[in-house]
Structure 1
């Protein structure tokens, strides 16, 4: 129960890594709101787990404000914000990615972190406590060809994590990131280009431990970094990748 008495918002929490984080937080005693663009999936998982849910487009400031008001009504000012929502473009040469795809990747993966900070940092500063956890990717640490702008967006998240940590530490706020390798999530087929046994085997050959990251792996790491046990840890970008980035 390392998160007993804590409240949390997990964006993109209806599936994949986000759902793993939601499940772990609940078992550790937190009250959780799932915020997801897929409102039906968010509501279904919330009903299953007995927590709150809210439809949210994390790239839109008005939607973020609506989510904030729903959270304040349901949870109060949250203790923990998990910026997990993310998107990628399909594998392609960097010059072939469309402007629309580029804009969407940076809006969801980067602008969302800015918007969530705008929405919650002022009141967290006034309270003197708060934790942000940004879900980046090994793609931002050890990039692969043909995912150039996705790689860049996740590198941005790692840098944003460190700069947020430095600036907010005097106000009692901590900011960390997780860098997972690909996992069994809705984005896997996009990363692989095509989800075939051959493509999976090729990708897995680059992971020394020999398997993908799981939602449970992410939940375990997130629960520690967001708990008081990690009160001296800020600005860390933790690789949950089975040795992929070594």
Structure 2
């Protein structure tokens, strides 16, 4: 019962990776709030795991706040926030570009993480909790077949890396999990293409295993890759030049140093 006594919030918890995580966390003893817009499936998963369901459109910050409030009021607090809601893009920047769809995709894949972190932080600070966001291998490498998806997932990676040391100072650990193509609805439109190219598709359980590893031992700001045929581990980002003094010493910029006040 590894997660006994823990309270978890899982966005996008009605299907795929989110549903698998809800089941695994509950099997480990956690009380789980399943948050989604698929009311039928979300309620079914919550009933299955003995948790609670809430309708949560992660594009709306108030919906994330309400999901956290449900966790606190129903189960007494929040320890784990798994910000997993996501959708595929399916268009580019040419004649097929759809501004409305673009805002929906960015709202779910990026804003949903931002709003989720903002909503969960007060409760997580009280209990020294963890945040894990679902990013993607598309956030670690070029994604020519869907550059907009790569853009929002790269943004999640950058957000997690920046928040890592900041939130660690407050007792909250934040990580990202970056799966390759997994057996979820996101790949339904091009699964045959992947398989014909010899690209293995990850099972949901493989991705859930990686999430559990991160919840056990992830260090602040780490982004773990999940790829078929090799153990999941933190991605070791090449060391960029970064901000340095004239003599070459690295400079660490704190959040408060970037806050401008009018004189």
Contact 1:140/1:154 (CA < 8 Å) preserved in 2?
A: yes
Cα drift, residue 181 of structure 1: 1.2
Contact 1:17/1:214 (CA < 8 Å) preserved in 2?
A: no
Contact 1:176/1:237 (CA < 8 Å) preserved in 2?
A: yes
1:67 match: secondary structure: helix
**Aligned residue number for residue 99 of structure 2:** 99
**Aligned residue number for residue 140 of structure 1:** 139
**Aligned residue number for residue 120 of structure 1:** 120
Cα drift, residue 243 of structure 1: 5.9
Change in Cα spacing, 1:128 to 1:8, as seen in structure 2 (3 Å) is closer
The equivalent position to 1:236 in structure 2, one of 222, 228, 235, is: 222
Q: Which has the larger radius of gyration?
A: 2
1:223 aligns with 2:215: no
So what's the TM-score if we normalise by structure 2?
A: 0.81
Cα drift, residue 165 of structure 1: 0.8
Between the aligned partners of 1:149 and 1:166, the Cα distance in structure 2 is: 28
Report the count of equivalent residues.
Answer: 231
Between the aligned partners of 2:124 and 2:38, the Cα distance in structure 1 is: 27
Change in Cα spacing, 1:143 to 1:202, as seen in structure 2 (3 Å) is farther
Contact 2:80/2:124 (CA < 8 Å) preserved in 1?
A: no
**Aligned residue number for residue 12 of structure 2:** 12
Contact 2:20/2:208 (CA < 8 Å) preserved in 1?
A: yes
**Deviation digits for residues 100-153 of structure 1, max 9, x if unmatched?**
12111110011111111221213433x251100000011111232231111100
So what's the TM-score if we normalise by structure 1?
A: 0.87
Contact 2:8/2:33 (CA < 8 Å) preserved in 1?
A: yes
Between the aligned partners of 2:182 and 2:50, the Cα distance in structure 1 is: 26
1:132 match: secondary structure: strand
Structure 2, unpaired ranges of 5+: 236-263
**Aligned residue number for residue 164 of structure 1:** 163
Cα drift, residue 3 of structure 1: 1.4
**Aligned residue number for residue 32 of structure 1:** 32
Please say which of residues 167-176 and 179-188 is displaced more in the overlay.
179-188
Between the aligned partners of 2:201 and 2:22, the Cα distance in structure 1 is: 19
Between the aligned partners of 2:30 and 2:77, the Cα distance in structure 1 is: 13
Contact 1:140/1:155 (CA < 8 Å) preserved in 2?
A: yes
Which is bigger in relative contact order (C-alpha 8 A, separation at least 6)?
1
1:26 match: secondary structure: helix
Contact 1:56/1:67 (CA < 8 Å) preserved in 2?
A: yes
Cα drift, residue 61 of structure 1: 1.6
Contact 1:19/1:215 (CA < 8 Å) preserved in 2?
A: no
Contact 2:22/2:49 (CA < 8 Å) preserved in 1?
A: no
